[in-house]
A = this chain, B = another copy of it.
Amino acid sequence: MPSDLAPETPAPAVAASRPSAKDVARLAGVSTATVSRVLNTPEQVDVHTQQLVREAVTKLRYVPHGAARALRSARSQMIGAVVPSFDYALYARTTSAMQTVLDAKGYSVVLAEHHYDLKAELRTTEQLIRHGVDAFVFVGLDHDPALFTMLENYGRPYVLTWGVDTNGRHPSIGFDNRAATFALTRHLIGMGHRRFGLLSAYTQGNDRASERGAGVRAALSQAGLSLPEDCVAYGAIDLVTTTAMMRGLLRLDPARRPTAVIGTNDIFAVGAMLACREAGVRIPHDISVTGCDNTDLGATQTPSLTSIRTPITEVGRAAAEQVIARLEGRPFQRSMLLPFDIVIRDSVGPPPPTA
């Protein structure tokens, strides 16, 4: 039922003339330089003059022109947050936390998605730099090398998040993705599992996925277990795909089929649960399933999903604080490793006795 309203020619779109610093200066009986000082470095201005200017500002509802300020002072008060995707609220919670901190300090957050495409990330970031964004927060450690060159060329500070750059080349705030899945895999091994499956995001340009996969492999090889190639599947992060990936694993010969399936995040794990549900495979009786990032999506499944609580809001807060410190020329902690917790729920149990 699309509307039958007729198309409409555009309104004149004339920007009403907004008050300028000149208007404020005239009303307050001072120069525009003083108006600027009152707003930016009030300590340099006589209190009485300040009063006058502030009254004029309020009366005229004056708001400084951001572009003019950015042009002149080379600082826009805008922070870019460039994330893979807002689907499934994985990264959204990090940016939400960032925004809260930055808003309070008078910065605006410019959000952009790149849909797991590092070339798109590069292009988007260039766009944002051109628009005058002062500093950046990125997700993950894997990026196009040209990204860092560009940031350096334009003198834009940045922080990587959701991981910690162990060789210290880049400022980073995150957690140990490999240790997280390592610990979880050890838990499953401890329960008696010997045959594992791994459902992973594409690892190309996604260090969270590759590190998480590496954690699983490390724990298995430490226990003398192998991860057969046909028990591993890679795919996009959406439930349709992840469910199809698990269907593939379920087609394996029952004698070889994994008794425990690990997803590199909750979306893979929930996809696995859906595939099991439709195939009549019982969780955790027949197969145990685990995820990562502890989303509501996983926690509310039946059975509830065992996962890893990664400190994704803490990461956002800390990243925002680092960026502010750097822009304001204060000391800052370049790297931060935050802790995770394993959240054991009902989707894991011992392997079936027949296995």
Contact = CB atoms under 8 A, between A and B. Distances in A.
Interface of A: 1-3, 5-11, 13-16, 18, 63-68, 70-71, 74, 76-78, 85-89, 92-93, 95-96, 99, 103, 108-113, 124, 126-132, 152-157, 164, 239, 270, 273-274, 277, 296-297, 300-302, 325-327, 329-339
Given A70-B67, A71-B67, A239-B296, A157 B8 contact: no
Given A63-B130, A112-B99, A86 B92 contact: yes
Nearest to A338: B2
A331 B9 contact: yes
A333 B7 contact: yes
Nearest to A333: B7
A96 B85 contact: yes
B110 A8 contact: no
Which residue among A8, A77, A239 has the maximum number of chain B CB atoms within 10 Å of its CB? A8
A153 to B, nearest CB: 5
Given A9-B331, A92-B87, A326-B10, A129 B63 contact: yes
A239 B157 contact: no
**Which 4 pairs of residues, A with B, have the shortest CB-CB distance?**
A15-B155, A86-B92, A111-B111, A67-B70
11 contacts: A3-B335, A8-B334, A10-B325, A10-B332, A13-B326, A77-B131, A88-B89, A88-B296, A89-B92, A108-B127, A110-B110
Contacts of A129: 63
Contacts of A337: 1-3
Which residue among A2, A66, A103 has the maximum number of chain B CB atoms within 10 Å of its CB? A66
